[in-house]
Amino acid sequence: MDEKTSTARVALKWGLIIGVGTILYSTLLFVLNLTTNRGLSVLGYGIFIAGLVLAMREFRTANGGYMTYGEGVGLGALASAIAGVLSSAYSILYMTVIDTGFRERLMEQTREQLEEQGQLTDEQIDQAIEMGQSFQSPGLLFVFGIFGSILIGVVLSLIIAAIMRRNKANPFE
């Protein structure tokens, strides 16, 4: 009987790689003050997609060219959770230790964007900013970051695993 590669081992490796890639990319956005640029933020998903595709490809190759849909989704979800923990921890570290004025600048940029849209009154903008600040505690940001990463990772994994799965012709082999 062949030794089957563990999804956990591959997920750990690629979760760390995705997490480090996300940290490097977010650091670039932080330093260049481009965190509110939606176009560049969307490019960050490319890191996730590439990492998940490479993880599933490595797992499939290590298992004789076969990977079930469930293995792919599980691998992607676990890798996303690991990447989410790393990137969320780094974001909290960055905002609370490295650049303590980041959240204030972010709120000011948000205020400016809402004012430019012209759809809300000043009072409504103040209320929106106040509500946003209530969700800015480091603990909540950490938890939301992890859950967001897992959610995005699972959705991407559902799609990627459907494309990359390859079942054995005879499941009893």
pLDDT of residue 115: 77
120 DSSP assignment:
S
pLDDT by residue (tens digit) across 77-114?
A: 999 999 999 999 999 999 889 888 877 887 787 777 77
pLDDT tens digit string along 41-55? 888 899 999 999 999
- Segment 29-38, tens digit of pLDDT: 888 888 777 7
Per the model's pLDDT, the better-predicted residue between 25 and 31 turns out to be: 25
Buried b (16+ CB within 10 A) or exposed e, 11-39: beebbebbbbbbbebbeebbeeeeeeeee
Instruction: Tell me how far apart the terminal alpha carbons of the chain are, to the nearest angstrom.
Output: 9
Q: What is the 3-state secondary structure (H, E, C) of 50-98?
A: HHHHHHHHHHHHHCCCCECHHHHHHHHHHHHHHHHHHHHHHHHHHHHHH
Residue that wins the pLDDT comparison between 173 and 158: 158
For residue 103, give every residue at least 6 positions away whose Cβ sits within 8 Å of its Cβ, in sequence order, or none.
Answer: 95, 136
Contact indicator for 155, 51 with CB cutoff of 8 Å:
no
CB count within 10 Å of CB 120 equals 13
pLDDT averaged over every residue in the chain: 87
Domain map (residue ranges) of the chain: 7-164
Which residue intervals of the chain are DSSP H helices?
7-31, 38-62, 69-93, 102-117, 122-134, 138-164
